[in-house]
Structure 1
């Protein structure tokens, strides 16, 4: 598996001055997720790698839509080299949050063929984002299972536990925003004549009010993987950026 896709997959407390909306000890955090109304035309979120500007940014394209009366958010991660997709996912809005409904990974064919290989992913649990939490809160689980097209493994499993970690403030694009944080714990299982399961690794995510995810960080052994949102712009601008790099 290519390094950039590996990092992308294992990448998909605060100030007392800030107060979230509370009802019966329930904290309403709906306004800190991606703004679906503003994303109807689509928007690229460019996340820069923190601490090393030679590492290519993550380019995520988010777009919302309404279908059969339901609200969806689609997200696509593009490779910086040729703007081919690495990951594509679709979430559906339910009463109490966002659920992962579909996700595919894309492998580049190593046999010399130009096409990509689609890797469908089984969603065992897809609790992407809760609209209401408690502090301290419970655990929101994502569990994905898939088999790489060009790997000898029988199955790979990603288990992500997300827990609400409080409120904070963060600067994004030169402005300060109210924000919330989630603590993460992730584990990867590789199945082949048994199960190989390295120790779980911690991380965190930050969501800014009216923007969505603005920062994410993982600690895998001695390796720190940290990204921060630096720009938002239409897809046409990313396409222009790519043409200039050719």
Structure 2
């Protein structure tokens, strides 16, 4: 499996000038998630790999929509080389957060043609982002289960635990923003001739007010996989960039 798809699956799913609403020790962090109103026309978020310019960025395309009176956010991760999709997901807004409603992974087959890998992904727990948190707060769980299309005996389970890590500030595109941070632990289990369950990987992610996710990283052994938001632009610009690379 490619590095970017592998990392994306794991990574799927006080005195500061911070304007949040507190009621009964609850912090309202709705405005730190992706701005659904501004994403109605869609926007590419280009995340640069930190520490190694030779590694291609992650290109995520976010777009919101309203259907049957519900608000949704769709996201697609595109392969840097040929702009073929690797992951596509849809979240639905509920009163206390965003829930993962469906997700599909893609992989190149032996001929190089993009092919849907898993049908379907079972969403056991689909907590993506809470609108209200306490500090310290509880754990928000995402758990996905699937069977690889090329190996129907290989069941995989992804478990991601998020915990609110506090308020902070970040610099994005040359400007400072108020932000919220989450600590994470991610684990992936392989069920084939027994259960292979390596220790969970620690990590964290940061969401800036009015922008959404601007930073994410995972510590694997002695290494780190870290991405930071570098640019935002319409899909037409990404398509132009792809044509220029041909």
TM-score scaled by length of structure 2: 0.96
Residues in 1 aligned to 2:210 and 2:112: alpha-carbon distance in whole angstroms: 42
Alignment of 1:128-147 (within 5 A): 128-147=128-147
Taking only aligned residues, the RMSD between alpha carbons, in angstroms, comes to 1.2
2:151 aligned residue: 151
Secondary structure class of the residue paired with 1:45:
strand
Q: Which residue of 2 aligns with 1:62?
A: 62
Q: C-alpha deviations, 1:26-83, integer Å up to 9, x for none?
A: 0000000000000000000000000000000000000000000000000000000100
The answer as to 2:114 corresponding to 1:88 is no
Unaligned 5+ segments in structure 1 are none
Per the alignment, residue 116 of structure 2 pairs with 117
Residue pair 1:75, 1:88 contacting (<8 A) in 2 also = yes
**Alpha-carbon contact 2:117-2:148 (below 8 Å) kept:** no
Alpha-carbon distance in structure 2 between the residues aligned to 1:2 and 1:233: 25
> 1:11, 1:225 within 8 Å by CA — same for their partners in 2?
no
> How many angstroms does 1:223 deviate by?
2.0
Instruction: Find the counterpart in structure 1 of residue 189 from structure 2.
Output: 189
**How far apart in 1 are the matches of 2:112 and 2:49?**
30
* Equivalent runs, 1:170-185 vs 2, <5 Å: 170-185=170-185
Q: Distance in 1 between matches of 2:6 and 2:153?
A: 15
What's 2:51 paired with?
A: 51
Write out aligned runs for 1:12-23 (5 A).
Answer: 12=12, 16-19=15-18, 20-23=20-23
Residue 3 of structure 1: CA displacement? 2.5
Please say if residues 97 and 131 of structure 2, whose CA atoms lie closer than 8 Å, have aligned partners that are also in contact. yes
Q: 2 CA distance for matches of 1:241 and 1:22?
A: 44
**d(CA) in 2 for partners of 1:163, 1:82:** 35
Gap runs ≥5 in structure 2: none
TM-score (structure 1 length as normaliser)? 0.96
CA–CA distance in structure 1, aligned partners of residues 136 and 114 of structure 2: 47
Contact 2:85–2:114 at 8 Å: present in 1 too? no
- SS of the counterpart of 2:167? strand
How many positions carry a matched residue from both structures?
A: 243
Structure 2 SS opposite 1:54: coil
